[in-house]
């Protein structure tokens, strides 16, 4: 007699919990873009010429002379001598190949309206805006800033700038007015595209007022183009030097703008990211190496084909959106999905409704989102048809094994491989991950370095560490998608990324991304987090990621943040802020289970000083946990301004709980 369905579910959960390695299905491997394991050996033997495979995804105006020039290391040059245009590669060539009617972008607004752009339609929009920008005075090599929400006009603006050879600098719409001004001043940017506002959880948010506040601190005259997103929801007046997007573009409808040939090493865009000194760093990405790498990784890691409908849930204000919403998918001729709002509005199944409605093939999101899905429960994905999904991915931070297995079972139906990708703004694209048609998957471990990458975990002397030991993550060879320098700050570029492990006498340079990691006997790398994200308990250094992973490995814990707080005897002590899953009560029993898991998995030295159960964690508008703020709460110090948080109201609740305990 067969087991009852409930008993089968229990047995399945037990098997998933115990299982450490997962194989891709034969069906997936048969259709995968990359399925031959020899690709690793091939790329190693033929390096750097192996990267011609990435360059072959592009159409070149003039062929390159050399794959890699190392004369001025570590400012490497990729595909030197070549000329091309990124906008042409994303649009024109697909139209010329007879795919003009294929869908390029599916966009859905938070209130539920949608817009579909074919490649022909998107090209026409891009050319009209490119003509508009030229009329406003934008010339080749002028930096154009974009301070826009997730609306279609943002990728249109990026591609219009690329078309006329003007680098773009996208500033995340959730950033402050001060952040906008800082970035425009650093880039000497005189042109800005923005919007009157956008929707978030049903509210129409005023974005133009924040834009105007930022522009007041820009130290030069600016020309601003404003997209009217909210219509009658928000009346606004345009000031001096400000123009309505629709009115300007309508004047140039139907115009053709020839794509400007750009040198392989010409700047495609600036992307500002946080730095150790507090001042944002203008990461410079160039045209050929970046575009080739975004296309190759989209093909090899995300397994994208032109026929696919693909959705990356990131914001284009981050590098993930640049590489894997815009440039990678569009270079391949894929349909890319954009969504304006949050995953829980109007209901907690909004993401799964989008997957169902658009029959999404490949879905790429953040572990933060996966943990939220876990907390909300399985009832929401179960309401929707997710059978179109072929591949899942995660990005932004390490995903703990329990969240990985939940994602694998409840979203992928145990049939979709998961690519757990490690990379950075500076790397331009994926660096450490499994190839889904080649590699087994190990929950919690990102995977090996991609083919052509020499990734090593080393100690403070630069020597490789033994398997299982924590060390510093380093990249020993250059790669096409890498940053070229920091904008107008070559010295900082050298000091922050290369000097730590360089050997000038041997003329060898090693890239150090300031992350800690460990590697197992199979070469699978587990990223442990930033090397400064450590807690020094009585002289013992504990990685916060290790403690967090042990915490969320406890059944009933949906999400956790671990920080260090001041302690009279230990110097620092471990503090845990945890969110429990729906249906599980916080309390002494769950607290004891967490302590036991940490002591068993790491050791008694990691035993937490305090566990605080909270319904939410303080997060930025991009979804990142504000751990520094949690440290201040644990230490009882002034927490400062919380207005930039997505949920500032939760801070007071957490403070009360800490003081009560």
3-state secondary structure of 327: helix
In the chain the domains, ranked by start, together with CATH numbers, are 91-101+119-260 (3.40.50.980), 533-660 (3.30.300.30)
Reply yes or no on whether the pLDDT at 419 is more than 80.
Answer: yes
Reply yes or no on whether the pLDDT at 277 is more than 50.
Answer: no
Reply yes or no on whether the pLDDT at 640 is more than 60.
Answer: yes
Reply yes or no on whether the pLDDT at 274 is more than 80.
Answer: no
DSSP 280: P
Average pLDDT over residues 181-188: 95
> Parallel, antiparallel, or unpaired: how do β-strands 103-108 and 335-339 relate?
parallel
Among residues 257, 284, 295, 255, the alpha carbon closest in space to that of 59 is found at 295
Could you give the CA distance from residue 516 to residue 502 in angstroms, rounded to a whole number? 18
Could you give the CA distance from residue 198 to residue 177 in angstroms, rounded to a whole number? 16
DSSP-assigned letters across all residues of 568-611: TTTEEEEEEEEEEPTT---SHHHHHHHHHHHHHHT-GGG--SEE
Task: Look at residue 1 in the predicted model and tell me its pLDDT.
Answer: 34
The confidence band for 615, taking pLDDT boundaries of 50, 70 and 90, is confident
DSSP 24: P
Average pLDDT over residues 617-646: 75
Phi, psi of 517 (to 5 degrees): -160, 170
Reply yes or no on whether the pLDDT at 8 is more than 50.
Answer: no
Could you give the CA distance from residue 100 to residue 487 in angstroms, rounded to a whole number? 36
Judge if pTM exceeds 0.75: yes
Reply yes or no on whether the pLDDT at 623 is more than 90.
Answer: no
Non-local CB neighbours of 367 within 8 Å, separated by 6+ positions: 394, 396, 397, 398, 399, 400, 403
Average pLDDT over residues 286-290: 98
Between 388 and 178, where is the model more confident? 388
Could you give the CA distance from residue 548 to residue 642 in angstroms, rounded to a whole number? 24
Average pLDDT over residues 557-572: 82
Reply yes or no on whether the pLDDT at 286 is more than 90.
Answer: yes
Task: Look at residue 393 in the predicted model and tell me its pLDDT.
Answer: 98
Task: Look at residue 236 in the predicted model and tell me its pLDDT.
Answer: 87
H, E, C per residue of 300-357: HCCCCCCCCEEEECCCCCCHHHHHHHHHHHHHHCCEEEEECCCCCCCCCCHHHHHHHH
Task: Look at residue 249 in the predicted model and tell me its pLDDT.
Answer: 97
Reply yes or no on whether the pLDDT at 289 is more than 80.
Answer: yes
Average pLDDT over residues 285-290: 98
Could you give the CA distance from residue 127 to residue 380 in angstroms, rounded to a whole number? 41
> Are the beta carbons of 330 and 152 closer than 8 angstroms?
no
In angstroms, the Cα distances linking 20 to 15, 16, 401, 516, 526 are: 10, 8, 9, 22, 14
Least confident range from 17-26, 141-150, 223-232, 304-313: namely 17-26
DSSP 503: B
The confidence band for 543, taking pLDDT boundaries of 50, 70 and 90, is confident
Query: In the chain, what percentage of residues exceed pLDDT 70?
Result: 92
Could you give the CA distance from residue 407 to residue 490 in angstroms, rounded to a whole number? 42
Task: Look at residue 531 in the predicted model and tell me its pLDDT.
Answer: 73
Reply yes or no on whether the pLDDT at 7 is more than 60.
Answer: no
Could you give the CA distance from residue 457 to residue 523 in angstroms, rounded to a whole number? 10
CA angle in degrees (0–180, nearest 5) for 29-35-41: 155
Reply yes or no on whether the pLDDT at 500 is more than 70.
Answer: no
Reply yes or no on whether the pLDDT at 308 is more than 80.
Answer: yes
pLDDT tens, 123-179? Answer: 999 999 999 999 999 999 999 999 999 999 999 999 999 999 999 999 999 888 888
Task: Look at residue 538 in the predicted model and tell me its pLDDT.
Answer: 64
pLDDT tens, 428-437? Answer: 999 999 999 9
Rama region for 640: left / alpha / beta (φ>0; ψ in -120 to 50; rest): left
The confidence band for 641, taking pLDDT boundaries of 50, 70 and 90, is low
Reply yes or no on whether the pLDDT at 626 is more than 90.
Answer: no
Report the chain's terminal Cα–Cα distance, integer Å: 52
Among residues 168, 414, 443, 450, the alpha carbon closest in space to that of 300 is found at 450
Could you give the CA distance from residue 414 to residue 362 in angstroms, rounded to a whole number? 15
Task: Look at residue 5 in the predicted model and tell me its pLDDT.
Answer: 45
Reply yes or no on whether the pLDDT at 246 is more than 60.
Answer: yes
Task: Look at residue 2 in the predicted model and tell me its pLDDT.
Answer: 41
Task: Look at residue 259 in the predicted model and tell me its pLDDT.
Answer: 98
Between 219 and 505, where is the model more confident? 219
User: Quick one: tokens of 522?
Assistant: 């199979």
Strand boundaries in 113-163, DSSP class E: 114-118, 144-147
Packing angle of the helix pair 153-164, 119-136 (nearest 10 deg): 60
User: Quick one: tokens of 333?
Assistant: 């001729």
Could you give the CA distance from residue 583 to residue 595 in angstroms, rounded to a whole number? 21
Mean pLDDT value across the chain: 90
3-state secondary structure of 641: coil
The confidence band for 262, taking pLDDT boundaries of 50, 70 and 90, is very high
Among residues 590, 580, 543, the alpha carbon closest in space to that of 564 is found at 543
Task: Look at residue 276 in the predicted model and tell me its pLDDT.
Answer: 44
Could you give the CA distance from residue 268 to residue 161 in angstroms, rounded to a whole number? 9
The confidence band for 14, taking pLDDT boundaries of 50, 70 and 90, is low
Could you give the CA distance from residue 141 to residue 87 in angstroms, rounded to a whole number? 15
């Amino acid at each position: 007699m067969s087991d009852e369905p409930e008993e089968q579910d229990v047995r399945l959960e037990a098997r998933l919990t115990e299982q450490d390695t997962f194989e891709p299905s034969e069906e997936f491997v048969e259709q995968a873009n990359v399925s031959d394991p020899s690709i690793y050996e091939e790329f190693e033997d033929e390096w750097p010429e192996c990267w011609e495979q990435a360059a072959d995804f592009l159409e070149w105006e003039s062929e390159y002379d050399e794959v890699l020039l190392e004369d001025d290391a570590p400012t490497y040059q990729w595909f030197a001598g070549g000329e091309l245009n990124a906008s042409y590669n994303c649009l024109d060539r697909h139209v010329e190949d007879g795919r003009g009617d294929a869908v390029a972008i599916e966009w859905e607004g938070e209130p539920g309206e949608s817009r579909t752009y074919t490649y022909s339609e998107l090209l026409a929009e891009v050319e009209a805006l490119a003509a508009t920008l030229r009329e406003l005075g934008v010339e080749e090599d002028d930096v154009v800033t974009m301070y826009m929400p997730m609306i279609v006009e943002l990728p249109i603006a990026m591609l219009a700038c690329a078309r006329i050879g003007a680098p773009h600098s996208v500033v995340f719409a959730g950033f402050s007015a001060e952040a906008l001004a800082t970035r425009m001043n650093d880039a000497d940017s005189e042109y800005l595209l923005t919007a009157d506002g956008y929707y978030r959880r049903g509210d129409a948010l005023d974005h133009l007022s924040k834009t105007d506040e930022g522009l007041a601190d820009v130290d030069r005259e600016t020309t601003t183009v404003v997209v009217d997103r909210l219509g009658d929801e928000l009346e606004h007046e345009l000031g001096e030097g400000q123009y309505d997007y629709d009115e300007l573009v309508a004047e140039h409808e139907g115009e053709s703008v020839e794509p400007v040939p750009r040198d392989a090493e010409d700047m495609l865009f600036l992307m500002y990211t946080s730095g150790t000194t507090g001042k944002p760093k203008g990461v410079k990405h160039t045209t050929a190496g970046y575009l080739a790498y975004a296309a190759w990784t989209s093909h090899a890691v995300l397994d994208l084909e032109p026929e696919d409908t693909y959705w990356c849930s990131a914001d284009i204000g981050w590098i993930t959106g640049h590489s894997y919403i815009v440039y990678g998918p569009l270079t391949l001729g894929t349909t890319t999905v954009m969504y304006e709002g949050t995953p829980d509005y109007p209901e907690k199944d909004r993401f799964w409704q989008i997957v169902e409605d658009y029959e999404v093939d490949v879905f790429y999101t953040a572990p933060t989102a996966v943990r939220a899905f876990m907390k909300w429960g399985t009832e929401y994905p179960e309401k929707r048809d997710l059978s179109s999904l072929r591949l899942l991915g995660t990005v932004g931070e390490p995903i703990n094994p329990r969240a990985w297995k939940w994602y694998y079972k409840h979203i992928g139906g145990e049939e979709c491989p998961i690519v757990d990708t490690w990379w950075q703004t500076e790397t331009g694209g994926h660096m450490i991950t499994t190839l889904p048609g080649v590699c087994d998957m190990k929950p919690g471990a990102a995977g090996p370095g991609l083919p052509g990458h020499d990734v090593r975990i080393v100690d403070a002397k630069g020597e490789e560490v033994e398997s299982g030991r924590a060390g510093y993550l380093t990249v020993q060879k250059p790669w096409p998608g890498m940053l070229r320098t920091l904008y107008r700050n070559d010295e900082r570029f050298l000091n922050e990324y290369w000097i730590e492990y360089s050997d000038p006498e041997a003329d060898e340079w090693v890239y150090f991304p300031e992350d800690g990691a460990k590697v197992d006997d199979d070469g699978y790398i587990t990223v442990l987090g930033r090397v400064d994200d450590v807690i020094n308990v009585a002289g013992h250094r504990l990685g916060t990621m290790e403690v967090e992973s042990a915490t969320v490995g406890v059944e009933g814990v949906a999400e956790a943040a671990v920080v260090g707080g001041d302690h009279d005897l230990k110097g620092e002590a471990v503090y845990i802020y945890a969110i429990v899953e729906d249906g599980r009560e916080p309390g002494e029993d769950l607290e004891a289970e967490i302590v036991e898991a940490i002591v068993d998995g790491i050791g008694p030295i990691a035993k937490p000083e305090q566990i605080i159960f909270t319904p939410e964690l303080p997060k930025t508008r991009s979804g990142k946990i504000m751990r520094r703020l949690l440290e201040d709460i644990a230490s009882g110090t002034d927490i400062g301004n919380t207005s930039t948080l997505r949920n500032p109201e939760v801070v007071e609740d957490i403070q009360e709980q800490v003081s009560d305990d």
